[in-house]
Amino acid sequence: MVSNPGSPVAAGEAGGDLRTGTDWEYAPAPESRDIVSIHDEYGLFIGGEFTAPVSGEHFSTVNPASEEPLASVAQAGEADVDRAVAAARQAYDQSWGKMPGRERAKYLYRIARVIQERAREFAVLESLDNGKPIKETRDVDIPLAAAHFFYHAGWADKLGYAGFGPDPRPIGVAGQVIPWNFPLLMAAWKLAPALATGNTCVLKPAETTPLSALLLAEVIAEAGLPPGTVNIITGDGRTGRDLVAHPGVDKIAFTGSTEVGKQIQRTIAGTGKRLTLELGGKAANVVFDDAPIDQAIEGIVNGIFFNQGHVCCAGSRLLAQESIADPLLDRLKARLETLRLGDPLDKNTDIGAINSREQLDKITSLAAAGEAEGGQRWSPACVLPDRGYWFPPTVFSGVSQSHRIAREEIFGPVLSVLTFRTPEEAVAKANNTPYGLSAGVWTEKGSRILSMAQKLRAGVVWANTYNRFDPASPFGGYQESGFGREGGRAGLAAYLHG
Ligand code: NDP
């Protein structure tokens, strides 16, 4: 074990109750990984079956908490992308695209139910491949993924009554590229609305987290979808690029970095392909002096330390009203001392591993920039495991708007604290970002919530809560956070002509 250099005392030294001398440490509570059987090697899911890549190439996916290789996964090349798009086109023309909505719904319900039945297996696999704590995969990622399929199954036979005209038409073949932060959930966000509206899909999961999408491919086969309706092709950024550029794809749905989103826009400009982009964010979580402080503390913690801060809508900028900033910060630090960092499969773990070496390097370098620019850095006492990719929960106070850590998306467990005096100043600071995905407001005044929600330039504004997701609620951003909405009725529109 290596003690975190940013912390004054390592947990081992600090542990124990000073009054009684009793050690109140939790006993380990690891979830068994026996429920999951990971294959040594995976092919590409094309035309309803797993096939070897024409490219002949494979790459390894590792457990970020231990750096242990988990499986060898196929790298889809141009010819493989071609095969997947052809399979999706055939399914669209011959079966799925013609199928009545009430029939499509049955398949979606089936997928939802099988995800529920195999929820534990999915949760363990996701924690192994991604590094996120089992209590999050078990209680958030997997139930929400199932909920997305249930919700959209309900829409499939009602599209004609939803305000899209009497006979809404699907777009055709959707190419969908997703990131590593919520691997199964992002697959569900992409596939469920596309399928409900009658499109067929080629999905590319992120290079570092392909395994839950490949298990989903097994579920899709088990649910009996017509072959080619969903194709799942693994690979790195080159596979995503080939899929985006493929002339046989009618619509692109992308979630990931703003930089790649812009590249995609350039690639498809003038092709007539439809596009939705869900990109980065730098959300402000605004706490007024009349806020319910205990709730606000939980909301701040959930806002930035949920999923190690690997969340596009993370509340990475805390805007605290000046009159309460000091006590708020003290209470926040006291709360952070109780967070438990470590084995993602332990049911008591709050903070898991950083997903990859690259991401850890990025977080490390932005945190160093925060210190160099004069921010006061603080982390709770915690011990980082000596293998794997880890970063302690970190708070920067004394941050000004020009600091890089107040402007750039860190995508890690790092909170920047700024202050404000008036609601106008809070709005001006919150909106001072090229992004516009989400924001939080904490106050007991309903009128202030409504006023702030109107003025904050963000796709989602949470009031006295944070990071709440529901398939019925549209999600998406403004400016460099992208365009288009996912979820709800608005999310269906992205997959229909009109
Ligand atoms: P990317 O945008 O590179 O990756 C997202 C997905 O796009 C992955 O499947 C990736 O494949 C694929 N991809 C990469 N290059 C291309 C391309 N040229 N054309 C089409 N698809 C491509 O994000 P990263 O994983 O590299 O993360 C970098 C930063 O992006 C993070 O630090 C964070 O700031 C931000 N990010 C934002 C997310 C969000 O939810 N808004 C999610 C993830 C990251 P592969 O995985 O193989 O590279």
pLDDT in tens, 38-97: 999 999 999 999 999 998 999 999 999 999 999 999 999 999 999 999 999 999 999 999
Tokens of 77: 């090349």
Tell how strand 438-442 and strand 58-63 pair up: unpaired
Question: Is 201 designated active site?
Answer: no
The answer, yes or no, to whether residue 180 has pLDDT greater than 60, is yes
155 CA to centre of ligand 1 in angstroms: 30
Is it the case that residue 490 has pLDDT exceeding 70? yes
Quick: pLDDT tens for 305-335. 999 999 999 999 999 999 999 999 999 999 9
Side chain identity, residue 94: Q
Give dist(CA 298, CA 307) in Å, integer. 14
Question: 420 CA distance to ligand 1 centroid (A)?
Answer: 33
Residues 458-480, buried b or exposed e (16+ Cβ, 10 A)? Answer: bbbbbbbebbebebeebbbbebb
Distance from Cα 201 to the centre of ligand 1, integer Å: 19
* Atom in ligand 1 nearest the alpha carbon of residue 235: 47
Model confidence, pTM: 0.94
CB 223 within 8 A of CB 216: no
**DSSP result, 101-166:** HHHHHHHHHHHHHHHHHTHHHHHHHHHHHH---HHHIIIIIHHHHHHHHHHHHHHHTTGGGTTS-S
Distance 232 CA to ligand 1 centre (A): 17
Residue 200, beta-bridge partner list: 173
Q: What is the pLDDT of residue 21?
A: 58
Closest Cα to atom 16, ligand 1: which residue?
237
Question: Ligand 1: which of 59, 73, 177 to mutate, judged by most atoms within 8 Å of the beta carbon?
Answer: 177
Task: Using alpha carbons, select from 259, 250, 299 the residue that is nearest to residue 480.
Answer: 259
Active-site residue flag, 312 = yes
Q: What is the mean pLDDT of the chain?
A: 94
Is the pLDDT at 2 greater than 80? The verdict is no
Atom 35 (ligand 1): residue with closest C-alpha?
A: 257
Give the torsion sign (CA, 335, 338, 343, 349): negative
Spatial neighbors of 361 by CB under 8 A, at least 6 apart, are none
The answer to whether residue 418 scores a pLDDT higher than 70 is yes
Nearest CA to ligand 1 atom 40: 312
Position 22 scores a pLDDT of 65
Residue 415 CB contacts under 8 Å (≥ 6 apart), including other chains: 300, 304, 305, 315, 316, 317, 318, 393, 394, 395, 396
Alpha carbon of 75 to ligand 1 centroid (Å): 16
Residue 446: its pLDDT value, please?
97
Q: Does residue 5 have a pLDDT over 70?
A: no
pLDDT in tens, 191-231: 999 999 999 999 999 999 999 999 999 999 999 999 999 99
- Sign of the torsion angle spanned by Cα atoms 212, 218, 219, 220: positive
Neighbours of 173 (CB within 10 A): 28
Kindly list the distances between the CA atom of residue 397 and the CA atoms of 21, 122, 329, 406, 416, in Å, as whole numbers in the listed order. 33, 38, 9, 11, 6
Selecting among 31, 126, 136, 312, the annotated active-site residue is 312
Instruction: Indicate which residue of 31, 121, 207, 278 is catalytic.
Output: 278
Distance CA 244, CA 238 (A): 10
- 276-282-283 Cα angle (round to 5): 95
Which mutation among 260, 391, 460 tests ligand 1's pocket best, with the greatest number of atoms within 8 A of CB?
260
The whole-angstrom separation of Cα 459 and Cα 477 is 4
CA of 453 to the centre of ligand 1 (A): 29
Distance CA 495, CA 194 (A): 6
Q: Which pLDDT score is estimated for 18?
A: 47
Query: Do 191 and 146 form a contact (C-beta atoms < 8 A)?
Result: no
Ligand 1, atom 21, residue with closest C-alpha: 240
CA of 260 to the centre of ligand 1 (A): 7
Instruction: Indicate which atom in ligand 1 lies nearest the CA of residue 409.
Output: 34
Can you give the three-state secondary structure of 7-36, one letter per residue? CCCCHHHHCCCCCCCCCCCCCCCECCCCCC
Q: How far is CA 466 from CA 209, 250, 298, 475, in A?
A: 25, 35, 9, 13
Place of tokens 């890690």: 412
Structure tokens at 425: 């100043």
Give the mutation target among 257, 304, 478 for probing the ligand 1 site: most ligand atoms within 8 A of CB.
257
| Atom 18 of ligand 1, nearest CA residue | 241
Which pLDDT belongs to residue 166?
Answer: 87
Pocket of ligand 1 (CB under 6 A): 177-181, 204, 206-207, 236-237, 240-241, 244, 255-257, 260, 263-264, 278-280, 312, 359, 362, 409, 411
